[in-house]
Amino acid sequence: MKEYLVKPKKDFSLKKFDAGDTSLAKDGESAAKKELKDLRKKLIKLQQVLYAENKHKLLIVLQAMDSGGKDGTIRSIFKGVNPQGVKVASFKVPTELELSHDYLWRIHSKVPAKGEIVIFNRSHYEDVLVVRVHELVPQEIWMKRYQQINAFERLLVQEGTTILKFFLYISKDEQKRRFMERIEDPEKQWKFNPNDIEERQYWDAYMGAYQDVLEKTSTPQAPWYVIPANHNWYRDLVISRIIVSRLKELKMAYPQPVENIEQYLEILNKS
Ligand code: ADP
C-alpha cells in the first residue's frame, strides 16, 4: 500500500492524488467486494487475538471533508467485529469544558487501552484544519500544533500504540453529488446540514490545510495514507488491506493457557 502512504520528509503534493483512482483493484468492483469480505474475516480474527493478548493498542484516525465517508467506512470495515474491544470516538465542536483545557485533553482521554481498537471519527487534526481555516485561534498558536501533535503521537507509540491515519479523499464534484443525493433521497435527508454547503465554499482553504497536515505530520511511527474515496468499495478495500497487514506485523498470539489445562477436563467430567 506504499502507493497511498505519505512518505515522511519527502516532497508531498495532495494535488497529485486522484480521488477517483481504483488502480489497485485490477479485477474490478465485484472482485474487490469479495476480497473485502475475506479481509473482514481476517480482521475479526486479528481483533480477537488483540483483545485476548491484551498487549497492543490500535488507534485509527479518520479525517475527511463533509460527506467524505467516515461513517460508511466504520460501518463497512468493522462489520462483524466483536464490539467488545472496539470503540468509536467522535469529535465534534468542542464544549465549553473542552475549550477550557488544551486541545489534546479530550483526545488523550479517548486513546486505546491495551487490547483495544479505537477509531477516531475526526480527531485532534481538526485543531489544525477547521480551526485554521476559520481562524478560531491565532496563527502563532496553530502553527505550533504540528510539532505538538507529532510529539503527542510519539508518546502514544512509545507506550505501545500502533497508529494509522487515513485521509478519505473525495473530489469537490463528488461532494456535490453526495450532497444532492442527501437532499433528494428521503432516507438520507437526515444527514443534510445546510452548514455543509457553507463549509464547501472553503474547499480550497481546506485542501491547503490538509496539504500541510499530511506533509508535516506523516511520521514513520504514525503515518498518513491518502485514500482515494470517490468509490466507497475501493476506499473500504484499500483501508482494510492496510489495517489487516499492519495488524499481522504485530505478530500477536493468544496468551499461554493455565498450566496443565487438561486436568480440568477430568475434574469437570467428575463433577
Ligand atoms: P460529522 O460531520 O463528523 O459526522 P457533525 O456534522 O456533527 O459530525 O460535525 C462535527 C463538526 O465539528 C465539524 O464541522 C467539525 O469541523 C467540528 N469540529 C470538530 N472538532 C473541532 C474543533 N476542535 N474545533 C472546532 N470545530 C470542530
CB 43 within 8 A of CB 243: yes
Q: According to the model, what pLDDT value does residue 191 have?
A: 94
Is residue 157 domain-resident? yes
* Strand locations in 2-144 (E): 57-64, 86-90, 117-121
**Which residue range(s) make up the domain with 165?**
2-172+204-254
Q: According to the model, what pLDDT value does residue 39 have?
A: 98
Is residue 120 domain-resident? yes
Q: According to the model, what pLDDT value does residue 106 have?
A: 98
**Along the 271 residues of the chain, how does pLDDT read in single tens digits?**
799 999 998 889 999 999 999 999 999 999 999 999 999 999 999 999 999 999 999 999 999 999 999 999 999 999 999 999 999 999 999 999 999 999 999 999 999 999 999 999 999 999 999 999 999 999 999 999 999 999 999 999 999 999 999 999 999 999 999 999 999 999 999 999 999 999 999 999 999 999 999 999 999 999 999 999 999 999 999 999 999 999 999 999 999 999 999 999 999 999 9
Domain count across the chain? 1
Cα–Cα distance, 156 to 183 (Å, whole number) = 41
Q: According to the model, what pLDDT value does residue 9 have?
A: 82
Q: Whose CA is nearest to atom 5 of ligand 1?
A: 92
Is residue 65 domain-resident? yes
Is residue 19 domain-resident? yes
Q: Whose CA is nearest to atom 26 of ligand 1?
A: 93
Is residue 259 domain-resident? no
Which residues, judged by CB distance below 6 Å to any ligand atom, belong to the binding site of ligand 1? Answer: 66, 91-94, 121-122, 126-127, 130-131, 193
**Ligand 1 site-directed mutation target among 63, 92, 108, most atoms within 8 Å of CB:** 92
Point out the ligand 1 atom lying closest to the alpha carbon of residue 66.
Answer: 2
Distance of CA 82 to the CA centre of its chain: 18
Point out the ligand 1 atom lying closest to the alpha carbon of residue 92.
Answer: 12
Point out the ligand 1 atom lying closest to the alpha carbon of residue 122.
Answer: 3
Is residue 199 domain-resident? no
CATH of the domain at 64: 3.40.50.300
- How far CA 237 is from CA of 4, 92, 188, 244, in Å, comes to 13, 27, 24, 11
**Ligand 1 site-directed mutation target among 71, 93, 132, 170, most atoms within 8 Å of CB:** 93
CB 65 within 8 A of CB 170: yes
Is residue 70 domain-resident? yes
Point out the ligand 1 atom lying closest to the alpha carbon of residue 71.
Answer: 4
Q: According to the model, what pLDDT value does residue 227 have?
A: 98
Is residue 182 domain-resident? no
**91 CA → ligand 1 middle, Å:** 6
Q: According to the model, what pLDDT value does residue 1 have?
A: 76
Q: For the whole model, what pTM was predicted?
A: 0.97
